Amino acid sequence: MTESQKRLRVLIGSRSFGQVFPGHIRELEEAGCEVIPNTVGRAYRADELMAAMVGVDAIITGTDELTAEVINNATQLKTIAKHGIGIETIDMAAARDRGIVVSATPQASSDSVADLTLALLLAVARKVVPAHLDTMSGGWKAYTGMELRDKVLGIIGLGRIGQQVCMRAQGFGMRVWAFDPYANQEFVRVHQVKLVSMPELLANADVLTLHVPADQVECPLLGEKELAAMKYGALLLNTARGALVAEAALVEALRSGQLGGAGIDAFENEPPVGSPLLTLENVVLTPHIGGRTYDGLRRMGEQTIENVLRSLRGEAPLFEIK
């Protein structure tokens, strides 16, 4: 290890990196990096990063505001490593212009997010939460739910997570339809997925689940018009990004019965303080924990470290975003 390598400075923006696995911090230090901890207790705002990024070679980011101004001001920055998947808080054009390597960990949490998607589906379909709360309070109400067998699961976005959700749902006997212009045709053939247009999917899905990156589509993907076009009484699942769904329109669809229920792990504003979703009984809400399993966080941390160290050595990271 040369003296110059020992001076490489890595800022930790992500609050989840090293939280469950402190050894991931030690791995960076043992590789010769000076690790700078997050000092604000949340994602960094752009004005805070203007100072925090001075003299930094790499940042491990969660949802920090990496604007063009921040990136251009960070004259020593060589790489941005996303501890997760979404890159909507990173100004990619500015990073490309500066030649800064941007990486992510798209494979780390696919199983974790797919598991939560099915957990939300079962909880909403069988009204597990209200039944639990009623029973805990001394009640004994017979809640009537929905079976999954032979129901149509509509998937928007048949990428890594969408594929994992597909296979799990088929284990429950669901028929899987999907909308994805870039779907893996071999996966579609092997798993007998029916590819359809967006209008056809909305009209026929008993359950609709979203697994598309918010930065790759025009948001909101589902607004008042799209929600009204869904099959009456259908269920909606969103374990992707809150920006994909117009929240006010979603609330109205849930109140009117147009949607029978929803399982939501991602919100327009996080935490969703004051959101009308918090007042509804036909929803199951979780605090954006899709990727938060011990297995997923272990893989995510390991892949993030590898991305950082490879980039700092001038090598290609495991998962580069261009």
Report the alpha-carbon distance of residue 267 to residue 246 in Å, rounded.
10
Are the C-beta atoms of 67 and 91 separated by less than 8 Å?
Answer: yes
Which residues of the chain form beta strands (DSSP E)?
9-12, 34-36, 58-61, 79-82, 101-103, 152-156, 175-179, 194-195, 207-210, 234-238, 259-264, 283-285, 320-321
DSSP β-bridge partners for residue 207:
153, 235
Angle among Cα 310, 81, 164 to the nearest 5 degrees reads 100
- Catalytically active residues, by annotation: 241, 270, 288
215 CB-side CA count, 13 A? 9
Cα-based torsion angle of the residue sequence 23, 8, 108, 240 in order, rounded to the nearest 10 degrees: 120
| Single-letter residue type at 71 | I
- How does DSSP assign 102-130, residue by residue? EE--TTTSHHHHHHHHHHHHHHHHTTHHH
DSSP for residue 278: G
Selection from 260, 243, 171, 257 nearest residue 208 by Cα: 260
Distance CA 256, CA 202 (A): 17
